[in-house]
Amino acid sequence: MIKSVIKGIGRYVPENIVTNEDLSKRMNTNDEWITERTGIKERRHRKNRNDSEETTAFLGFKASEIALKNAELSAKDIDYIIFATLSPDYYFPGCGVLLQEMLGCETIGALDVRNQCSGFIYAMSVANAFIKSGIYKNILVAASEIHSFGLDFSDEGRGVSVIFGDGAGAVVLSATEDENAGDILAVNMHSEGKFAEELCTKFPGSKFGWSDRMRREPENVTNKEVYPIMNGNFVFKHAVTRFPETMLEALNSAGKTVEDLDMFIPHQANLRISQFVQQKMGLPDEKVFNNIQKYGNTTAASIPIALSEATEQGKIKRGDLVLLSAFGSGFTWGSVLLRF
């Protein structure tokens, strides 16, 4: 039987640290509010907001190089790329093809996944299906975001802009028939499109006009269209309901219980959400990994960044049962349960 094992993991974040104190000099906010409501103390922003080199694909490339080294594989060994992001280098094409070129992979397939905070879960689910069906052997799953170029740092945008940060994570998912190796035991994915506008960026999009409007009447393109908008309370309430649902669904479908878990890595949306879910599920502190304090919410990249840190710190070992879950814009949510 073919199993899907995580062979290598990598992460890369820009060097530039932006503290809550730094943000309070740019808008009407403060460390106390941000810490109390979100748990975030600092995040990374690329140094130059308009940098055309330190892009989403570039961050994904740096994380992927580390994941490949960690897996003891070369770019030529990769037979498929899946790239999850909501902040691509171009409106099109997606970042997958840019990563293919940067790494020097063969002319393999490169798929882009647009599922925002759940992007890594969706990407891993697709990778798992390709591996299990015997189609591909080594799939590179990269997730990367540059949020800092597209946030509203005026007072109007403070409810959103203090939360998000830049960063990337990547894993190599490989086929194996080794009975002692790890595997993906369960996946689930969900969506509820009626809430699309509760957390979204409208522009550029076919519904709200694009280049013609920008050319003819740029003054009528408002902050609410070009920057992400979020109905924070509404998203929060749905997140704390959907997280436990998807977690239990994954555990049940693999015949496991919460007690069997060695580690839970939630998408790093808000420390309060993670703590609420942890409590609801009855998980002890040592079985939940959070690092939002250092990176903010890096949407699709948050889970692989956390996975990379948790393994590096010895908090996840080979053979451990690990649950990854996410909820976000769409709404979309889902889980991957794996034996590491």
Active site residues: 117, 267, 297
Q: Which is nearer to ligand UT7, 117 or 141 (CB)?
A: 117
CB 177 within 8 A of CB 1: yes
CB of 33 to ligand UT7, least distance (A): 4
Is 235 an interacting residue with respect to ligand UT7 (CB under 6 A)?
yes
Distances (CA, A) of 197 to 200, 201, 207, 228, 327: 5, 8, 12, 10, 15
Contact string 255-284 vs ligand UT7 (x = CB under 6 A): --------------xx--x-----------
Q: Which is nearer to ligand UT7, 56 or 297 (CB)?
A: 297
What token pair was written down for 53? Answer: 């080199």
DSSP annotation string for 210-223: -HHHHHH-GGGS-H
In this structure, the number of other CB atoms found within 10 A of the CB of residue 324 comes to: 25
Which residue from 12, 236, 243, 289 is in contact with ligand UT7, where contact means CB under 6 A? 236
Instruction: Write down the residue that tokens 């309430």 correspond to.
Output: 237
CB of 110 to ligand UT7, least distance (A): 25
How far, in Å, CA of 76 to CA of 103, rounded? 9
Given the rule CB under 6 A, which of 77-85, 92-100, 138-146, 234-242 is the region that contacts ligand UT7? 234-242
β-strand partners of 173 = 6, 139
Q: Taking Cα atoms as reference points, which of 126, 139, 131, 129 lies closest to residue 77?
A: 139
Which residue from 71, 124, 162, 337 is in contact with ligand UT7, where contact means CB under 6 A? 162
Is 288 an interacting residue with respect to ligand UT7 (CB under 6 A)?
no
Instruction: Write down the residue that tokens 């993670």 correspond to.
Output: 274
Is 339 an interacting residue with respect to ligand UT7 (CB under 6 A)?
no
* Residues contributing to the site for ligand UT7 (CB under 6 A): 29, 33-34, 37-38, 117, 158-159, 162, 232-233, 235-236, 239, 269-270, 273, 297, 328
